[in-house]
Chain A
Amino acid sequence: MPDENKNGDNGSSSTSSNGKNGSKVGVLEKVTTTVKEDIQSLKTDIPAKAKQQVEGLKDPTKTQVYTSIFRHKHDDTPRNRALGVLSNVFLHLHPAKINRDAVRYSYTWGMGGITFYLFIILTYTGVLLMFYYHPSKVQAFRDVLYLEHDVPFGKILRNMHRWAAHLMVIGVWLHMFRVFLTGSYKKPREFNWNIGVLLLVFTLLLSFTGYLLPDDQLGFWAVTVGTNMARATPLLGHEGPFGPQLGMTPYNDVRFGLLGGSIVDANALLRSYIWHCIGIPIVASVLMIVHFWRVRKDGGISGPAPVVLQEEADKPRRGPKAAGE
Chain B
Amino acid sequence: MDWRQLWEICSAPDNVPIVGLIPLLIFYIYLAWKQAHANDVLIEQLEADPAMAKTHHRKTWPFKPGWQKEVHVWPFLLRIEFLAAIIVTIILMVWSITLNAPLEEPANPNLTMNPAKAPWYFLGLQEMLVYFDPWIAGVVMPTMIIIGLMVIPYIDTNPLGSGYYTWKQRKFSIGTFLFGFVILWVAMIIIGTFIRGPGWQWFWPGQTWDHNRLIYEVNRDLPDIFGITSNLGKGIFGAIIVGGFYLLGGGAVYSLFRRKMPKDFQRMSLLQFSLMAFLWLTMVALPLKMALRLLWHIKYVWITPWFNI
Contact = CB atoms under 8 A, between A and B. Distances in A.
Nearest to B70: A97
A324 B58 contact: yes
Nearest to A210: B119
Given A95-B73, A96-B72, A305-B164, A323 B54 contact: yes
Contacts of B242: none
Contacts of B216: none
A259 interface: no
Interface in A187-246: 187, 189-190, 193-194, 197, 200-201, 204, 207-208, 211, 214-222, 224-226, 228-234, 237, 239-242, 245
Given A189-B153, A313-B160, A160 B174 contact: no
Nearest to B81: A113
Interface string A90-115: 01001111111111111101100110
B96 A100 contact: no
Contacts, number: 304
B96 A156 contact: yes
B55 interface: yes
B270 interface: no
B156 A110 contact: no
B116 A224 contact: yes
Interface string B60-97: 01010101111111111110110011001101110111
B88 to A, nearest CB: 6
B72 A309 contact: no
B226 interface: no
Given A114-B88, A177-B28, A220 B109 contact: yes
Contact of A182 (B73, B81, B101, B165): B165
A20 to B, nearest CB: 77
B46 A162 contact: no
Interface stretch (B137-145, B246-254, B273-281, B291-299): B137-145
A306 B292 CA distance: 46
Contact of B162 (A81, A160, A187): A187
B133 interface: yes
A27 interface: no
Interface stretch (A45-53, A57-65, A167-175): A167-175
Interface string A284-317: 0000000000000000001111111111011000
A215 B99 CA distance: 20
Contacts of A194: 150, 153
29 contacts: A82-B72, A94-B78, A96-B72, A106-B35, A110-B80, A156-B93, A163-B96, A166-B14, A166-B17, A167-B91, A181-B177, A184-B162, A186-B162, A189-B153, A216-B104, A216-B106, A217-B107, A220-B109, A221-B116, A225-B117, A233-B139, A240-B134, A303-B162, A303-B164, A304-B61, A307-B59, A308-B160, A309-B46, A309-B53
Given A98-B71, A324-B58, 4 more contacts: A167-B17, A170-B24, A204-B121, A229-B137
